[in-house]
Structure 1
Amino acid sequence: MYTLTDVTKTYVQKKRTVTALSKVSLEIPTGQMVAIQGPTGGGKSTLLQMLGALDKPTSGDVVLGDKQVSKLPDSKLADIRATEIGFVFQSFNLIPTLTAAENVETAFAHGTLPRDEQKKKAFAALESVGLGDRGDHLPAELSGGQQQRVAIARALVKEPQVLLADEPTGALDENTRDEIMDLLEGQWRDRGLTFVLVTHDSAVARRAERRLRLKGGKVTEA
């Protein structure tokens, strides 16, 4: 479970203070699928960074399970990101010179898993997203939907508890969008993940169990 209590995040831009999040209090139960919508600049990506242990609030608390991530040192946050949280982004973020399987294996870069185990898990992860026969292909040899499937496999190969997605279908056409969302929903249900995604697409947001709206740094239930 995520618990956020009075989370505020401010930045200084051009000598003025900008508030990205303003006293956000929120609970996300374990295993829930949540969609976050709102206007550009409303704080959606900042909230996802808080949930992903990528940033710390200016004030307030962020708790994941029994870990108060807003108070942990950077080294501990890196451990949490490496083992408990998977990330999927709009731009795929694949390394162009690595094959699909090698891109999935980069998820183990900071671990101690033997190489043969990494390969075995990467292949299984690609199979789980329907790309078991594309492991030796470079990103340029894959369609946009296939590249996103590789990115999803990379996010899930470590068997995280949480999956965070920032506009995961934003670069895809409507048919491919639906295929990727079917895949993500299936992985969420099969693995019992806590799944939080940011999206501008209401058709995507309607698939979630719960919808939140973030505007002006404040969260409301949609």
Structure 2
Amino acid sequence: MYKLSGVTKRYRRGRETVEALRGVDLVIEDGDKLVIQGPTGGGKSTLLQMLGALDRPTEGSIELDGTDLARLSESALTKLRSEKIGFVFQSFNLIPTLTAQENVETALVPLGVGADERRRRAAAALESVGLGERLRHLPSELSGGQQQRVAIARALVKNPRVLLADEPTGNLDEGTRDEIMNLLETLWKENGFTFVMVTHDSAIARSAQRLAVIKKGTVTVTERARA
């Protein structure tokens, strides 16, 4: 699915040139699950942005299903993100004035899905994450874990081929973290999407069967045998 070849990303910070990624080579197969760990500023989020077609490399290529994302126009990248990639963030990024169901529906608007079908699919997505009774609740009426479940439903309602999660448990306590990780694991197994997650949480990293450690822009991948 993904093939990264010689991916380098540089940017300016004042008078300094920062090399966030340094010649990264990486393959992520269709349906794979990859956890990315590393220190703050090591390049984790930069790598995830590249996979999500939110940024372009300074050098190298990022292929998704054989298409080099770095060569696509902005309109083509927008279309690709809306159709193929779901995003989950640490801060949930829910619209505070919309209900849980309406927040989930926003992911379907760019796809031209009709109102009735949007409502049906959003309700089903919330049911799948255990919030079937909370459709009309505003984010302020939900706990942090429930808000993250809404965000997960929003990411998956369009049936993406890829789910990218940037510190999805970073704002949660340990118990809620485990609930969200178990939910993501179950949804990944049931739906078969490609799942890439950035985390600073050592407990999550230790349990990963495929772990990419990124330090100073370079990536080392460790494979663990399945139980």
TM bucket normalised to smaller: over 0.9
**Which whole-Å CA distance do the structure 1 matches of 2:118 and 2:66 have between them?**
29
**Which whole-Å CA distance do the structure 2 matches of 1:120 and 1:206 have between them?**
38
The share of aligned pairs that are identical, in percent, is 63
Cα shift readout 1:17-58 (whole Å, capped 9, x = no counterpart): 110000001001111111100110000000000000000100
Show the 5 A alignment for 1:18-37.
18-37=18-37
Is 1:167 the counterpart of 2:137 in the alignment? no
Offset of 1:70 from its aligned partner? Answer: 1.4
**Which whole-Å CA distance do the structure 2 matches of 1:53 and 1:100 have between them?**
26
Show the 5 A alignment for 1:182-201.
182-201=182-201
Residue in structure 1 matched with residue 85 of structure 2 by the alignment: 85
Offset of 1:174 from its aligned partner? Answer: 0.5
Task: State TM-score, norm by structure 2.
Answer: 0.96
Offset of 1:109 from its aligned partner? Answer: 2.7
Show the 5 A alignment for 1:105-144.
105-144=105-144
Is 1:216 the counterpart of 2:216 in the alignment? yes
Is 1:43 the counterpart of 2:33 in the alignment? no
Amino acid at match of 2:59: S
Show the 5 A alignment for 1:40-79.
40-79=40-79
Amino acid at match of 1:32: D
**Which whole-Å CA distance do the structure 2 matches of 1:137 and 1:207 have between them?**
34
Asked whether the equivalents of residues 83 and 158 of structure 1 are also in contact (C-alpha less than 8 Å), the reply is: yes
Amino acid at match of 1:106: T
Asked whether the equivalents of residues 31 and 194 of structure 1 are also in contact (C-alpha less than 8 Å), the reply is: yes
**Which whole-Å CA distance do the structure 2 matches of 1:208 and 1:77 have between them?**
30
RMSD: 0.8
**Which whole-Å CA distance do the structure 2 matches of 1:110 and 1:68 have between them?**
23
**Which whole-Å CA distance do the structure 2 matches of 1:208 and 1:128 have between them?**
24
Amino acid at match of 2:5: T
Residue in structure 1 matched with residue 98 of structure 2 by the alignment: 98
> SS in structure 2 opposite 1:107?
coil
Offset of 1:66 from its aligned partner? Answer: 2.3
